[in-house]
Structure 1
Amino acid sequence: MLQSARSSFMIATDMAQKFVDRFCATIRYNVNVMDTDGIIIAARDTHRIGTYHEIAHALILEHREAAVVPTDGDSPPGVLPGVNLPLRHRGEVVGVVGVTGATPEVAEVAHTVRTAIEAMLEYEWERQQLDHRQDRKKTFVDALLYKDESDPVQLNDLARRCGYDPDLPRMPVVLEIGGGSLHDYLTAVKGSAYHTKQDLSVVGSSGHVTVFKVVPASACAIVEETRCCFSDYCAAIDDECAAVNLEPPMKYASGPIQSSASRYRMSLRAALWIMHRCPERLAFCSDHTHELLLHSIAPEVWHTVFDYLWARMQGSPLVDGTTLDQLGRTFMVLREENMSPKRAATRLGVHRNTVVFRMNRLNELCGLDPVANWREREMLYLLFGHMLRHTPLPETLTIASGVPFVPSVQNYLI
């Protein structure tokens, strides 16, 4: 027997037999498929499967483009008259196809059969590659988001094997879907104008569609450039949803940008926190950094710092419970309006002098001047934030214009 000529790609015998059965149902010729060792792995005459085809083996070893066995000549055992052609996959000979019959008749049929088999091999290879990539991606996502203490080196290796550059800066973007299939929305995300192959998109266990979106590494206007990237990306997803007759996502939220895959998990948690606690449809992380950091402070720290002071304020004869609550809410809105009594009064639906009176009463109660001293202003912000953790605002307040708003203090409270 001739020596072996192994290929790195092997034709699946069951797939080859299914093809032969289907093709032979439409033609009257026998078709055989041989591997690189000349062994018949699929045939119309199934009794020939497993037998050795010397001509096919020689064709491969001698790098020939065809091997014709004439009807009037002597042929080796196990070989019938016909035309044998090499099968190639991505430039490599992976087997031989033979069509049995008189040479002039079967030559064209043999070339047609070879073309069809090679197309089938390419399709099957691409399908397998997709399956393997999906398996690798699942392993990567599991290690990235759900496994505690993942090895950063291993994460980077998994990312590269999935085709992702782990060194690119990425921002988590979370989509809240009102209804419909999450996978339909995932498809829409992947089809949107600003989605790239380096953007990692998944349906997470939280029930949201999440994308770790690559962001530009700008040298100036860094935050604004990222904000534009976020808003443009969300707008493109809205457009794609409209194009495929999906309702646009209810909300979008972004998390802190990361250039290390090992930090994606915490960044996603931040994005989910912003999603659940911020009223905007497009909630950009940098707009809520303060609240996010305050939220990360342990409850016992808040109580240690503020409980005594708060109890003294509640017991003061200068205020009752309702008045103290009112002072706190007025201060929080005033701070959001850069300590402008006029703008705060507009939002609260009261006269400017009312805001001034309340701040004077607050100064008298605390002995602090939040307008003149930024440290005292921030201290009161934290104090009333602590208070509102236990006395949450209604879901919305109505300002004088009738437009509902939710004060940002709510955004970091649980």
Structure 2
Amino acid sequence: MLLLENNLAQQIVNRTMKIIGNNINVMSHRGVIIGSGDPLRIGQTHDAALLALQHSTTIEVTKESSLTLKGVLPGINLVLQVNGQVIGVVGITGDPDECRKYADLVKMTAEMIVEHAGLTEQLQWDRRHREEFITSWINTQTNDAKLLGWAKKLDIDISAPRIAVLIRFRETHQPISLQGVRKIVELLEYPIRDNLVAVVSLNEIVVLKPATFIHGQWDCNDENRRIDLLFSRLKEYDMTDIDIALGHYFDGEGSVARSYESAQLTLEWGLTHQPQKHKHLYEDLRLPVLLSPLHQSWQGQQLHQPYQLLIQEDKNGQLVKTLVALFQYRSLTECANSLYIHRNTLRYRINRIRNITKIDPETIGGLLELHLGYLLER
């Protein structure tokens, strides 16, 4: 059953009194005054409202008849109905002959306020449930029966291919307001593109976007362009302290959770190693992002150790510079030319790298291991 709350009742009073000037009372479905231009009357039982509710009709009260009713002044009392349900009574204080000409206007205004409030509350309720679902979905590796049932109730097709985008607000002296967060959510939801949007923390929004395919392959470039468009729109609202990370597309069970995790790792790597940028794409940072979980593992420490030894022994940075050139060029001649050194000098540096790290950079496996250690250093 839809119930009138005190705050909404007082809102009806305040808005209608601005229109007509007369005192307005709003009574609950039990005939108790819950909103009034006269605060002293709130909480009193209104006999005329009880009669209106009992007979589902308008009750007019003259000066004479008011003397026989408890808590009643002359006026007109009209039953409020929303979706065919009686929810209360609105009363206009004054001479019934004078009040009658705008009684229907007051009734219609009150019912419209209640309907709008109910719609707003329903939308907020739906949004909360959708955000709770999205938060659960991005952290779930399996599409179990509970998740499927929840999605069906919310009319969300979890079989549709989606890609995760993570938006984070940078910490500044002036944190973003809730109004700012709502504005970004609106930009992400409208025009309607079937984006699923959830505010997952005070400074983070996740967007599950429909994946775009070209010739059967997921197209990262299309999403890249859309992120650029979003940045340009955010600038119009002076929102620039924002980072956006695009994850990778996965298919199969748990694909959304994996896409979200890839966006998280991409964002963390980007914020740490390229803070001057605000857009971070998994496809551009694939290898370092894939390696990032190794930082805290013994396997990562083992891969990193040889490169650390090289840094410690390389006083002027020439050996590290030479190793980076070896990563980039296929032949020793190209490598030496890029460093503006003779091949014999390059050979000497390669031998030093080999002696320090105990790894041969002239083999594919050795060069790969040193490259992984270099990436883990970054």
The two structures have a TM-score, normalised by structure 2, of 0.67
Displacement of 1:257 after TM fit? Answer: 3.7
2:298 aligns with one of 300, 322, 326? 300
Correspondence for 2:52: 56
Correspondence for 1:125: 118
Correspondence for 2:209: 214
In the alignment, structure 1 residue 67 sits paired with structure 2 residue 54: no
Displacement of 1:220 after TM fit? Answer: 2.9
Correspondence for 1:385: 372
Please list, as runs of the form range in 1=range in 2, the aligned pairs for 1:3-14 lying within 5 A after superposition: 8-13=1-6
The worse-fitting range, judged by mean Cα deviation, of 76-85 and 291-300 is 76-85
* 1:24–1:31 CA contact under 8 A, matched in 2: yes
Give the Cα separation in 2 of the matches to 1:257 and 1:137.
22
Correspondence for 1:244: 237
* 2:79–2:89 CA contact under 8 A, matched in 1: yes
Displacement of 1:9 after TM fit? Answer: 0.7
Which amino acid is 2:299 matched to?
A: V
Change (3 A) 1:91 1:286: farther
Correspondence for 1:285: 282
Give the Cα separation in 2 of the matches to 1:104 and 1:9.
32
Please list, as runs of the form range in 1=range in 2, the aligned pairs for 1:9-408 lying within 5 A after superposition: 9-13=2-6, 15-17=8-10, 19-20=12-13, 29=22, 31-38=24-31, 41-42=34-35, 46=41, 49-52=44-47, 53-60=49-56, 66-69=57-60, 71=62, 82-90=75-83, 92-126=85-119, 128-129=121-122, 132=125, 136=129, 166-168=158-160, 169-175=162-168, 177=170, 179=172, 180-183=174-177, 186-187=181-182, 189-192=184-187, 196=193, 198-202=195-199, 204=201, 209-218=204-213, 220=215, 222-223=217-218, 225-229=219-223, 231-247=224-240, 249=242, 251-257=243-249, 260=255, 262-263=257-258, 266-279=261-274, 281-297=278-294, 299-302=297-300, 325-334=320-329, 339=330, 348=338, 350=340, 354=343, 357-358=346-347, 376-377=363-364, 379-386=366-373, 388=374
In angstroms, what is the RMSD of aligned CA positions? 5.1
SS in 2 for 1:276: helix
Displacement of 1:332 after TM fit? Answer: 1.7
Give the Cα separation in 2 of the matches to 1:9 and 1:271.
47
The worse-fitting range, judged by mean Cα deviation, of 115-124 and 159-168 is 159-168
SS in 2 for 1:286: coil
SS in 2 for 1:181: coil
Give the Cα separation in 1 of the matches to 2:359 and 2:14.
92
Displacement of 1:55 after TM fit? Answer: 3.4
Structure 1: gaps spanning 5 or more residues: 1-7, 61-65, 371-375, 389-408
Which amino acid is 1:350 matched to?
A: Y
Give the Cα separation in 2 of the matches to 1:20 and 1:282.
50
Change (3 A) 1:344 1:181: farther
Displacement of 1:10 after TM fit? Answer: 0.6
The two structures have a TM-score, normalised by structure 1, of 0.63
Give the Cα separation in 1 of the matches to 2:92 and 2:304.
89
1:344-391 deviations in whole A, cap 9, x for unaligned?
A: 678x4536x6599559956x9699796xxxxx52542223432x3xxx
* 1:227–1:284 CA contact under 8 A, matched in 2: no
1:12-62 deviations in whole A, cap 9, x for unaligned?
A: 1354256447755886756443434555545558289224445312443xx
1:117-157 deviations in whole A, cap 9, x for unaligned?
A: 22332343355446646765775677678x99999666677
Displacement of 1:11 after TM fit? Answer: 0.7
SS in 2 for 1:245: coil
Give the Cα separation in 2 of the matches to 1:355 and 1:349.
12
Structure 2: gaps spanning 5 or more residues: none
* 1:194–1:236 CA contact under 8 A, matched in 2: no
Give the Cα separation in 1 of the matches to 2:14 and 2:308.
84
Give the Cα separation in 2 of the matches to 1:92 and 1:345.
86
Give the Cα separation in 1 of the matches to 2:334 and 2:183.
41
Give the Cα separation in 2 of the matches to 1:236 and 1:368.
47
* 2:28–2:88 CA contact under 8 A, matched in 1: yes
Which amino acid is 1:182 matched to?
A: I
Give the Cα separation in 1 of the matches to 2:229 and 2:307.
50
